[in-house]
Chain A
């Protein structure tokens, strides 16, 4: 099955700096890559996603890049704020089925210091 690796496991940045989280996947059939933010005690919430026919996607301070050849994708957060502090999970979905399961990475604890 698919295997998603995520790095780093923890990341500390100063407010206003950028943060980058990287993920790799193993199955070349994966074609959907969402990122979720999970605050302590709360549900994972989708913050951005990208499909395999797109190389980059931006939404305000958040961007995701995808390199299908190398099988890796990254989350970029610019101008970080303390409220960005949370655990971030990358995930990959195999195949074209609308019922596809998600394979998650182990998460990155992001801490933004004021």
Chain B
């Protein structure tokens, strides 16, 4: 049973560029969330997708956008990259109709902005 998978594992971009990160949820999961983890910090919630719609959003600017596809996979897009966007981006999934079911995290994408 595959867990949450993310691609790519590492990425280096230049300020001002745009980036797309991808996530496939764990089998049987239909809700996907994205978190940003800066070095030495806890994960910070970016947004959450369910039924192909953004359901909740954290305190992140509109430069951060996302999408969920019919197969439940998801993309995170970041435009006009800043140096401060350098972080580990974690995707997490859970099944929607199962109470407070635990979040399962992927290994993340390490984004470096130079």
Report which A residues bind B (CB closer than 8 A): 4, 6, 31-32, 34, 36, 42-46, 49, 51, 89, 91, 93, 98-107
- B72 contacts partner chain A, Cβ-Cβ < 8 Å: no
Residue of A nearest to B99 (CB): A98
CA distance A105 to B44 in the complex (A): 9
Residue pair A43, B90 in contact (C-beta under 8 Å): yes
Q: Which bucket holds chain B's interface residue count? A: 20 to 34
Residue pair B100, A51 in contact (C-beta under 8 Å): yes
Contact partner of B33 among A4, A98, A101, CB < 8 A?
Answer: A101
In the complex, the number of residue pairs spanning A and B with C-beta atoms less than 8 Å apart equals 62
Residue pair A32, B100 in contact (C-beta under 8 Å): yes
Shortest Cβ distance from residue A88 to the other chain B in the assembled complex, whole angstroms = 10
- B41 contacts partner chain A, Cβ-Cβ < 8 Å: yes
Cβ contacts B93-114/A at 8 Å (1 or 0 each)? 0101111111111111000000
Report which B residues bind A (CB closer than 8 A): 4, 31, 33, 40-45, 48, 50, 55-56, 58, 90, 94, 96-108
Asked whether A99 and B108 contact (CB < 8 A) given A34-B103, A46-B102, A49-B102, the answer is: no
Beyond A101-B48, A103-B45, list 17 extra A-B contacts (CB 8 Å): A36-B105, A43-B106, A45-B105, A93-B100, A98-B94, A99-B48, A99-B96, A100-B100, A101-B33, A101-B58, A102-B43, A104-B42, A104-B44, A105-B42, A106-B40, A107-B40, A107-B41
Q: List 14 A-B contacts (CB under 8 A).
A: A34-B102, A42-B107, A43-B4, A43-B105, A43-B106, A101-B45, A101-B48, A101-B58, A102-B45, A104-B42, A106-B40, A106-B41, A106-B42, A107-B40
